[in-house]
Amino acid sequence: MNKLMAMTLLMMLVVSMPVWAGNPHTVCGKVFDAVKTMPADGTIRLKAYIAGRPDEILTEKSPGSGYQSGWFQVVVGNFPNRWKVGDVLIIEFTHNATGASRVVEHILTSQDPEQIGDIVLQRK
């Protein structure tokens, strides 16, 4: 009986592991403009995708993703195909008014929410 229970639990664990990767998972951080102030709401565009999958895009208008009060967030669980630990998330930030921008690459982990370092936009 104990062997059967142990095998059942083990199988449930193995079968469910890939499912964890597609769960909602938030990547977030602070955004600063080139003079190190937080841009106003509605002035930051973002485009996020997994390296190797540039056609699967999340933006500031995607469900759960956006920019507000100096913070951005991207819910990688909303990509059409599942993310996994070790995937490289690429986020392109652009300030609508100034054109200042920044591209950030971040390796996804299992930590949720996953806060990355401050993003400072650079003028062209």
Q: pLDDT tens across 7-17, in order? A: 444 344 333 33
User: Is residue 79 a contact partner of residue 56, using CB atoms and an 8 Å limit?
Assistant: yes
Residue 99 included in any domain: yes
Task: Say how many C-beta atoms besides its own lie within 10 A of residue 77's C-beta.
Answer: 15
From residue 109, alpha-carbon distances to 23, 73, 93, 94 in Å are 13, 15, 21, 25
Could you tell me the two tokens for 50?
A: 């997994």
**pLDDT at site 19:** 45
pLDDT of 32-43, one tens digit each?
A: 998 899 999 999
**CATH number of the domain to which 72 belongs:** 2.60.40.1120
Tens-place pLDDT, residues 46-96:
999 999 999 999 999 999 999 999 999 999 999 999 999 999 999 999 999
- What is each CA distance from 122 to 8, 24, 26, 37, 42, in whole angstroms? 54, 30, 24, 12, 18
Whether 54 maps to a domain, the answer reads: yes
- Is residue 49, in this structure, part of any structural domain at all? yes
Mean per-residue pLDDT over the chain, rounded: 86
Domain count, the chain: 1
Q: For residue 106, give its domain range.
A: 22-120
pTM, two decimals, is 0.80
Residue 8 belongs to some domain of the structure: no
